[in-house]
Every structure is written in C-alpha cells, then in structure tokens.
Amino acid sequence: ITKGGAELARRGRGDYFGELSLKTGAPTIASVSAAADGAKVIRMDRGAFQRLLGPLDSLLALRKYTASGVEVVDADSFREDSLVGGSDGAVPEDFVFQKAVDELKLSDFDVTRDTLGEGAFGKVRRCVYKKTGRIFALKQMVKADIVEMGQVEHIMQETQILSSITHPFITNKFGALVTPTNLVLIMEFCPGGDMFDQLYKHKRFALADARIYTMQVLLPLEYLHAKGIVHRDLKLENLLVAQDGALKLTDFGFAKHIKYRSWTLCGTPEYLAPELILEKGHGKAVDYWALGVLCYEMINGYSPFEAEETLQTYQKILDGTVNYPSSLDSDAKDLISKLLQKDISRRLGNLLGGAKDIKNHAFFADVDWANPYHLRGSILPTAFQRASYEWVGAKNVVVETKKMKDEDQCLFKDFTV
C-alpha cells in the first residue's frame, strides 16, 4: 500500500483494505499493488457490505492500521454468526420431544409389513415402541448398499445432525440402532404423507394456507441456520404432514454444517439456487431460494422453473425470469421475488436481519410471531388407528440380508451416538 510513492504497509492472506472508502464513500487515498507473484482479491461494494454485515463502524474496532502494519484487537468480539445474518431460531419453551433414553434393539419394536416409502438404501415402515405404545417411522438402510454407493459420509452426517436438533416443525429423531447388515433410524411418524401428494390432491392452496405452510418451513430453517446447518434439499417431497396438520421438514441427507461456504452440487433441479448450479460456493441462501420456489408452488400449483428437460430448468433458473400470474397476491409476489433473487447479497433471508427480514414482510402481516406455533392450515389427516394394521415383530421384517466386509463395520460405529 503506497501513497505519494512511499510505502505505508503490506497486506497478506486474510487482510483487507479500502474500509475508509467503504465507510464514507470517499475516494481512496492510497494505492494498492500486487506483489511480483500476484494476488487474488475478493471485492465487495458498499451496498452489499451493509446489506450483509451492517454498518462498518463496529467491525473496524477489530483492526487498527498503523504506518508499519496491522494490529488486531478484540477479534473474539466478532461473532461468527454475524457473517450470516441475525436470527436466533429459538424453539418454544413448552416444546418437548422425548428421545430414547435406553439403548434400542429391534425386539423393542413391532412394525407393519407394508411400507410408507422406499429409498435408495432400504424401506420406511410404521413401527410401535412396545415399551410406551408410541408410533414412529422406522427407516431401514442396508449397510453394504451405502458403502457401495459411497454414501457413508452422507448417512453419518444425517444421523449426527438429527441427534443435535429438536424442533416442532422437524421430523425429530427418537433414536437409532445397528444390526450386522442394517442401520435403523427411528423417526417421528407423520400420517398425512408429503406435501407433493397434498398439492397434487388440492391442485393449489388458498393464500391463507400457503402463508401458514411457508411460515412452518421458515421457522425450522431459521432454527437450523442459527446452528450453522443448511438443509440443501428443501422441496415438497421433504415436507411431511403430522397428525395435527403441522408440516415437518424431513430428509437431512444433504444437510451440512457450513461455516462459510460449501462447493458440493446437491439438491433437486427445480429448487436449486443459481449459485449451486454454477458451483460458485453456497451457504444458507440456497434454502431461502428454495423457500421462494415452495411458496410459488403452493399458491400457483406448479413450479416457477418447470421444464421438460433438466438443462432447460437450469437455464430458466440462471435466466432468473419468473412468470407471475396476474391474479397472484401482490404481497406474495413481492416476497417470492425477493427470495428468488439471483444476487445473494440482495436475497431476503441472507441479509443482516436473517430470517427476521422475511418475518417482517407484508405477506406475514397477520402472523403473530410471538406465538406462531399453534397456527394450522386446512390439511388435517385422518386420525391414525393402530388397530387398523397388522403388526409383527421388527426382527421378522428387518432381516439380515446383504452382508458387508467385516473391516467396513467400523464405518458406522458412531451411528447411534
């Protein structure tokens, strides 16, 4: 850094310059040149900085410039979460989900022979915990298939994240167990199926319902992001309807703790944010983009980016052109457009206020955010009748089939933690 031909200071990896201009908007008073071997710099304009991080004054207290270099002061006072916006994601004090306290065994459960669904590694069935009579969903996964498909890290990541979270609008994990050839997750049971089937049945949702359902997705996202977790696969199929009509976010197979950015391409095409498609690095903003897609789908009955081919879907997303029906509520349109914002420095939810910016939007003007957890949409599943099903011991259904190498067993040693 030079001024009038005289060297003032040198900067290296992790340093910054230009903060005076960023703060005041005044022209720079010094020149910065790259060393002989070059340098890679990342630029942020004043508007983006203030939208994402707020006023510069409080951040400047971290570092003082002297004529000879840089002095770092009170770096611990800078909260990591200030890089990703301010929302606490608090769970209501009266919410309690009782997780398993004893070591679980297959013999603790009876299951139905018919399945709720089938995934890449196994099946999901209704089950009853015989000690209490509580109904859960039992997700069976074949170890050998997980290893063969290179998904050990994803599966372990999912169960560890599920162990660390509890929320009224998330399918909570009761417990887990391991057999010689299977992994078993015991999850909350949601008899209403998923929102993809519900939307197909209803064609579209009334605005009041869409508002409540969008809220019931926003709250768990706020909670997850406060913990540094990004879901990365938000879609209708991953929203289940509980017995009381509440939505429950499920499937944490792509969820990840992200401190700054991740580079993995993952998710479902019609819900992918532009930065995911372009592999530019991503964070929690991808969940808010997907929230915009969900809100659009629930109100209109179809995706804003649907196309016959995946590449056409990607092109529509990258073009950023969304067709809004003329009948669409103006507040809903404004919210969706601010969530489907290509520029992450302008995307609602990713700014300094975090999820609070979305809560304060006019679309949610009628929502009492002090007590939103009692609100329900019009979907109410038929009461689950345990007597309507034939129950058999889980050991008779979750059988040992595809064996794996003994040396691979250690890959799953922390699955039940």
Q: CA-based angle 236:189:127, to the nearest 5?
A: 135
Catalytic option among 108, 110, 194, 233: 233
Question: Under a CB-based contact definition with an 8 Å cutoff, are residues 205 and 298 in contact?
Answer: yes
Q: Which of 226, 230, 196, 232 is nearest to 213 (CA)?
A: 196
Q: Is 139 assigned a ligand-binding role in the annotation?
A: yes
Find all residues with CB under 8 Å of 266, minimum gap 6, and list them.
232, 233, 254, 276
Please state, in angstroms and rounded to a whole number, the distance separating the CA atoms of residues 176 and 45. 48
Burial 231-245 (b: 16+ CB within 10 A, else e): bbbbbbbbbbbbbeb
- Please confirm, yes or no, whether 76 is among the known catalytic residues: no
CA distances from 150 to 63, 95, 147, 153, 255 (A): 44, 37, 5, 8, 17
Beta bridge partners of 137: 126, 187
Q: Which of 234, 222, 247 is nearest to 369 (CA)?
A: 222
Q: Which of 146, 140, 238 is nearest to 190 (CA)?
A: 238
Please state, in angstroms and rounded to a whole number, the distance separating the CA atoms of residues 311 and 327. 29
Token readout for 214 is 């969008």
Name the binding residues for ATP: 139
Binding residues: 139
Which residues are marked as active site? Answer: 233
